[in-house]
Structure 1
Amino acid sequence: MTDLSITATLVVAGANAQTDSGSAGETITAGQTLYRSSTTNKLMKADSNGATAEIRTPIGVALNGGALNQPIKYQKPGGDIVIGATLTPGVAYYQSDTPGGICPVADIGAGEYVCLIGLAKSASVLALDIRYTGVSN
């Protein structure tokens, strides 16, 4: 398996979603995991093998896309999100080593830091529950 193939136009916040926003620090697509840079205060794509814990710890999932300095709305953990990809119900999904990517648990590679993104509630809905362990696989 590989990263989820997310259709950006299908990413929708759940009815119980909590959202926030910020400015893009790079080009972002709906459905990508994000962190906020402490240096620029801009939203950037999270990455499980990033150089720092900040990069490896997502704060949410982008609900829209945008280029550098454009506004990005994102969903914070604690609610459901229609992720725009086909999920396997009951499977845990994690931060990928592809910046902004989400992958199933089976695809966490050696040396990647483990960060749960959520659990699939159905074939399209992910219960967003971000948990960064600080542990390398």
Structure 2
Amino acid sequence: MIYDWLKVVGVKEPSEIAYVSNVIIPGIRQENFINESNFLQVTRYLLRLFKENLLDEEMLECLREIKLKTKDSKQTFKSAQFCYLSNRYNPQIKIEGVIKEVTLVSEEYLNSGSSELEWSLFLRQLKLRTGLRLKPLIRIMHLVPFEN
């Protein structure tokens, strides 16, 4: 559909990178650009380009705002930069089940034929959270200050 439109406006062979730069990156800031009906298609497409080394640092930086499906009970979508990897992605620090109030990426992405490692590497390039900082952790856990 987009390729056809680009051809109509005079682009001879729209590149896959042009599609990312001109459609996906501007679209990810729109509320419902990524949704239940297209999230797998879009992210698989980006994963394929990543595996082919076609996404440069600047594109990956922009893509950190892409909404990913989360594992929470509401099946919401959150920006990649605010999500953590669930245990199936083999993160360095496995927080799933230990800290409940963190946003975990859905495991539905893993049903696409690519390995956990490929998805993990790609998602980390989108600046998913991989570690815990003390201040946000205290807010999450609602800790009471220690008194002597």
- TM norm. shorter chain > 0.5: no
What is the TM-score of this pair, normalised by structure 1?
Answer: 0.27
Give the structure with the larger helix fraction: 2
Which of structures 1 and 2 has the larger relative contact order (alpha carbons within 8 angstroms, sep 6+)? 1
